[in-house]
Amino acid sequence: MTISLLAYLLIPLFSAVLIQFTSRYKKNLADIIANITLFAGFLNISHLIFNTAKTAKFSLPPMAQDTFTLLMIFMIYMVALAVSSFSSGFLTEEKNRHHFHSLILVSVSAMCGIVTAGDFFTLYIFVEALAITSLALIAFDKSKKGLKGAIKYFFLNFSGSLFILLAMAILLFTIGTFSFAGIQHLTDPAYGGHWPFQVVAAIILLLSGFLIKSGIFPFHIQTVAAKQGAYSPVSAFMAGTVTKIAGVYAVIKIAIIFNFFDLKLHEISETLMLIGAISILFGAAFAMRQKDFKKMLAYSSISQTGYIILAAGLATPLALLGAIFHIFNHASFKTILFLNEAGLKKNLNTSDMEKMGGLARSMPWTSWSFVIAFMSAAGLPPLSGFWSKFIIIIALWQGGAKGYAMMAIGASVLTLIHFIILQRKVFFGKISAIAKNAQEMPLPMLAPIIVLCIVILVSGILFPYFYACLIETGIKAIL
Amino acid sequence: MTYHLALFILIIILALAAVMAKNMLFSALILSLVSVGVSLILFTFASPWAAVFELSVCAGLITALFISVINLMPKEKKLLNESRLKFTLLPVVLLIMAVISWIYIVPFFEYLSKHPHLSIHNYPLGQIIWKDRVFDLIGQICIFAAGVFAIKSLFARSINEQKSHKSQVTGHKF
Amino acid sequence: MTNIFSIDWYFISLLFFIGLSCILISKNMFKQLIGLEIMSKACLLAVILSGAATNNVNLAQAIAISMILIEAIVITVGLSILIKIYKTTGSLDLRKLL
């Protein structure tokens, strides 16, 4: 952990407090401060991510830093900037905009804390902070649906965190440490390299806690309810980063530090893979059946999370690399999809897919960015989503899980089909009554979508370059 | 040691009473007694600082919060009207759980305490808080800010509410 | 002779179970919050117990103090959502919110 990484955590926190004091009467000031803070951070991290050697050598004790962390911070700032810029156009009638931006900034700082944490307790503190802010964001519009989503989120999440605490206590009792470095030290073959089954119990508790937070198949109720109830930019934020950082990041981290592949933990790793596979199929199948645009996107998000969990369960270096990359790609395309949905909802006042149709003529930018995003989600070749899915499938094939590899390809086709159906219903086809009056989104709302599309295209086409530059140097070191 | 175990049995009985209570106020008060019991147990583990925090924050502050929320409700809402059958079954289920976990959990941790763990230097508390776990303090600032903003935004008035409030006021006038 | 720590773990697991079953059984949000409190008490005891068992009480105390503060903030936020829901629906019943 370097001092510059600490700044990614502290500056948004400071801006959040600043917004509260300055923008009570001038609401636009809140937009400006939040966007400037996030934009500055985004520029800074995108410079840093290609010059990892330049970081200073100051460190606080329980922290960690590697390329995985930097990539995650880049992703957090990217999505937060997109959402904050979009909502300054979206929430024009909302009187409490300064609260909204404060909450977004605090959750950015909490997420940076999560990805830089060096032990399970620090991780736990920041996860709780993140849960509180996202709770307030879900209940932000104060509708009945939003409150319902918030209370479900509250009880599931905080009981999940107590599982994590209990697991931490067992780890402290058994091996005397819960820091990542200490555990990794113990996985060395020199120390025997074989866990007693109490540690296995602790790992199961930890995984169940984090899987509850990631909103995957058996626990999908909370995320679906939350995403349905909240404002649409909030749903984009939740689907893109919050559930990924609070849950899935920690699952990957556990897979790395407990060394799932080398040690004799294959029961856990197989269970994790099974959960991932079930949620891929479940999410894809349920997404096909939805009539509501947003609900469909929420189920499709469960399916994409399944890929990451599947790869994390396999835990070969290649699979972990694919999982990390898929988190990043999922953040970019799912944010576009949810933001497009938000734009449509603001324009048309409905999110029922049956009522839409023929919107491509009146909203060309929205329509084509949607095409790029769903092609990336389905994993079509030139786009970035293709590469991560490709890596995951190859890793599955090499790791001996050929059935899962075939299933992943099949589910990918299923994703493509349901997005094509959606595209035909909403954007192409007959021009419906509401489509005639529809207008293109204003520039502050459109700009983040276009930028994210460019990110998808560039990181897809130049993928081999990024692979060499980023992955070979950094991520190899942590595996 | 008997004192220690008696405290444990006491807090389990109190917790069961808090869960099964019909009245919210009674439930909150019993919960504060559970906190007192927990802090007494913490004293027996030679950890006075945690015990004092538990006593003042959990038994004091949180109980005060619970009671002030209960006082916002009208009197008839303070009783919990839901089916009692599940709650009367709870002690039976707990008894079954107790037998099962006596068979499984005790040998489990029995084996565990013999397992070798890392050698640890037991540094003084101040050094651990201020040197080894500084990042936790930043995390606490973060969670504090999160809590403050969350509560502020939850109770801030939104447009919909304001509109309905205005129409109520004007309706009253005319 | 059974170790004292394993008997303590036994009681802690029972306490955790009581809290969890309260969250699962009850449909009243206030009762669920009390269940959450009981669960977090069990976790607090577990952490301190592990610290005492491994001769590392001070680390456990440092963690426990942070845990208590976090618990207080979480309960405060939970209660404020509860008040908000009570104001909008006039009830604390989860089933009426659906």
Place of tokens 């040691």: B1
Residues of chain A contacting B121 with CB distance shorter than 8 Å: none
- pLDDT-based confidence at B32, cuts 50/70/90? very high
Q: What is the pLDDT of residue C8?
A: 85
A124: amino acid identity, one letter:
Y
Place of tokens 């120390």: A191
pLDDT(B173) > 50: no
Handedness of CA B17, B22, B24, B26 (dihedral sign): negative
- pLDDT-based confidence at A62, cuts 50/70/90? very low
Percent of chain A with pLDDT over 70: 88
- pLDDT-based confidence at A268, cuts 50/70/90? confident
Asked if residue B91 lies in contact with residue B16, where contact means CB atoms within 8 angstroms, the answer is yes
CB count within 10 Å of CB B1 equals 8
Please indicate whether residue A23 or residue B66 has the higher confidence score (pLDDT).
Answer: B66
Asked if residue C48 lies in contact with residue B52, where contact means CB atoms within 8 angstroms, the answer is no
Interface residue B90 vs chain A (CB under 8 A): no
The tally of CA atoms less than 13 A away on the side-chain side of residue B42 is 30
In whole angstroms, give the CA distance from residue A62 to residue B129.
12
Interface residue C97 vs chain B (CB under 8 A): no
Mean pLDDT, to the nearest integer, of A199-207? Answer: 87
* A388-424 CB burial, b ≥16 within 10 A, e <16: bbebbbebbeebebeebbebbeebbebbbebbeebbe
Place of tokens 């530090």: A257
| Chains with at least 3 CB pairs less than 8 angstroms from chain B | A, C
What are the tens digits of pLDDT across the range B2-23? 888 899 999 999 999 988 888 8
- Interface contact flag, A113 B143, Cβ < 8 Å: no
In whole angstroms, give the CA distance from residue C7 to residue C64.
21
Residues of chain A contacting C5 with CB distance shorter than 8 Å: 173
Mean pLDDT score across all residues of chain A: 81
Mean pLDDT, to the nearest integer, of A428-440? Answer: 70
- CATH of the domain spanning C4-97: 1.10.287.3510
In whole angstroms, give the CA distance from residue A377 to residue A283.
13
- Interface contact flag, C36 A158, Cβ < 8 Å: yes
- Interface contact flag, A169 C20, Cβ < 8 Å: no
Q: What is the pLDDT of residue A58?
A: 42
* 3 state SS for A360-373: CCCCHHHHHHHHHH
Mean pLDDT, to the nearest integer, of A220-229? Answer: 75
Cα separation values, A284 from A324, A404, A413, Å: 21, 15, 10
So where are chain A's domains?
A: 1-116, 142-259, 277-479
Using CA coordinates, name the residue in chain B closest to A121: B136
- pLDDT-based confidence at A181, cuts 50/70/90? confident
Asked if residue A312 lies in contact with residue A319, where contact means CB atoms within 8 angstroms, the answer is yes
- pLDDT-based confidence at A147, cuts 50/70/90? confident
- pLDDT-based confidence at C77, cuts 50/70/90? very high
In whole angstroms, give the CA distance from residue A167 to residue A199.
9
Residues of chain C contacting B42 with CB distance shorter than 8 Å: 44-45, 48, 64
pLDDT(C5) > 70: yes
Q: What is the pLDDT of residue B13?
A: 92
For residue C93, the cross-strand partners are C28
Asked if residue C15 lies in contact with residue C45, where contact means CB atoms within 8 angstroms, the answer is yes
Q: Token pair for residue C96? A: 């009426």
Closest to A228 in 3D by CA, of A154, A318, A163, A293: A293
- Interface contact flag, B110 C14, Cβ < 8 Å: no
pLDDT(B82) > 70: no
Handedness of CA B52, B56, B57, B59 (dihedral sign): positive
Q: What is the pLDDT of residue A61?
A: 41
Closest to A254 in 3D by CA, of A205, A298, A221, A297: A205
Select from A125, A148, A169 the Cβ nearest to the Cβ of C47.
Answer: A169
**H helical segments located in A215-316:** 220-229, 232-237, 243, 249-257, 266-289, 293-314
Residues of chain A contacting B136 with CB distance shorter than 8 Å: 62, 121-122, 125
For chain B, the residue count is 174
pLDDT(A85) > 60: yes
In whole angstroms, give the CA distance from residue A395 to residue A314.
8
Question: Angle B22-B26-B28 (CA atoms, 0-180°, nearest 5)?
Answer: 110
Cα separation values, B113 from A261, A470, B117, C15, Å: 27, 44, 9, 21
- Interface contact flag, A148 C70, Cβ < 8 Å: no
Q: What is the pLDDT of residue A224?
A: 77
| Chains with at least 3 CB pairs less than 8 angstroms from chain C | A, B
Q: How far is residue A35 CA from its own chain's centroid?
A: 20
* Chain A positions touching chain C (beta carbons under 8 Å): 121, 125, 128, 132, 135-136, 139, 142, 144, 147-148, 150-151, 154-155, 158-159, 162, 165-166, 168-170, 172-173, 176
- Interface contact flag, C74 A158, Cβ < 8 Å: yes
Q: How close C97 comes to chain B (CA, Å)?
A: 15
What are the tens digits of pLDDT across the range A304-315? 888 899 988 888
Residues of chain A contacting C63 with CB distance shorter than 8 Å: 121
Q: How close A450 comes to chain C (CA, Å)?
A: 37
**H helical segments located in A177-248:** 180-186, 197-214, 220-229, 232-237, 243
Least confident of A60-74, A146-160, C44-58: A60-74
- pLDDT-based confidence at B144, cuts 50/70/90? very high
Q: Residue A328 — φ and ψ, nearest 5°?
A: -60, -50
Mean pLDDT, to the nearest integer, of C16-27? Answer: 88
Select from C17, C58, C72 the Cβ nearest to the Cβ of B62.
Answer: C72
- Interface contact flag, C73 B72, Cβ < 8 Å: no
Using CA coordinates, name the residue in chain C closest to B45: C52
Asked if residue A122 lies in contact with residue A113, where contact means CB atoms within 8 angstroms, the answer is yes
In whole angstroms, give the CA distance from residue A121 to residue A114.
10
Asked if residue A366 lies in contact with residue A290, where contact means CB atoms within 8 angstroms, the answer is no
Give the list of residues 6+ apart from residue C67 with CB closer than 8 angstroms, or none. Answer: A165, C40, C43, C44, C47
Burial class of residue A440 (count of CB atoms within 10 Å of its CB; 0-12, 13-18, 19+): middle
pLDDT(A355) > 80: no
pTM of the full structure: 0.91
Q: Which of A121-130, A180-189, A264-273, B105-114 has the highest mean pLDDT?
A: A121-130
Q: How close A129 comes to chain B (CA, Å)?
A: 4
- Interface contact flag, A125 C97, Cβ < 8 Å: no
Q: Hey, what's the torsion of the CAs at A18, A21, A23, A25, to 10 degrees? A: 180
In whole angstroms, give the CA distance from residue A241 to residue B156.
26
pLDDT(B171) > 90: no
Give the list of residues 6+ apart from residue A384 with CB closer than 8 angstroms, or none. Answer: A328, A329, A332, A376, A455, A456, A457, A459, A460, A463
Residues of chain A contacting B141 with CB distance shorter than 8 Å: 13
Closest to A330 in 3D by CA, of A296, A371, A301: A301
Q: Token pair for residue C90? A: 């006039």
Question: Is ipTM over 0.85?
Answer: yes
Place of tokens 């009671």: B67
In whole angstroms, give the CA distance from residue A447 to residue A466.
24
Mean pLDDT, to the nearest integer, of A275-293? Answer: 85
Over the Cα atoms of chain C, what is R_g? 17
pLDDT(A437) > 50: yes
Asked if residue A195 lies in contact with residue A265, where contact means CB atoms within 8 angstroms, the answer is yes
Angle between helices A249-257 and A266-289 (to 10 degrees): 160
Q: How close A447 comes to chain B (CA, Å)?
A: 27
3-state helix, strand, coil split of chain B in percent (to 5) is 80, 0, 15
Asked if residue A145 lies in contact with residue A52, where contact means CB atoms within 8 angstroms, the answer is no
* A213-245 CB burial, b ≥16 within 10 A, e <16: bbbbbebbebbbbbbbbbbbbbbbbbbbbbbbb
Least confident of A71-85, A362-376, C20-34: A362-376
pLDDT(A467) > 90: no
- Interface contact flag, B158 A94, Cβ < 8 Å: yes
A109: amino acid identity, one letter:
S
Q: Residue A421 — φ and ψ, nearest 5°?
A: -60, -45
In whole angstroms, give the CA distance from residue A289 to residue A298.
12
Using CA coordinates, name the residue in chain B closest to C78: B151
- Interface contact flag, C66 A121, Cβ < 8 Å: yes
- pLDDT-based confidence at B159, cuts 50/70/90? low
DSSP letter for A63, please: B
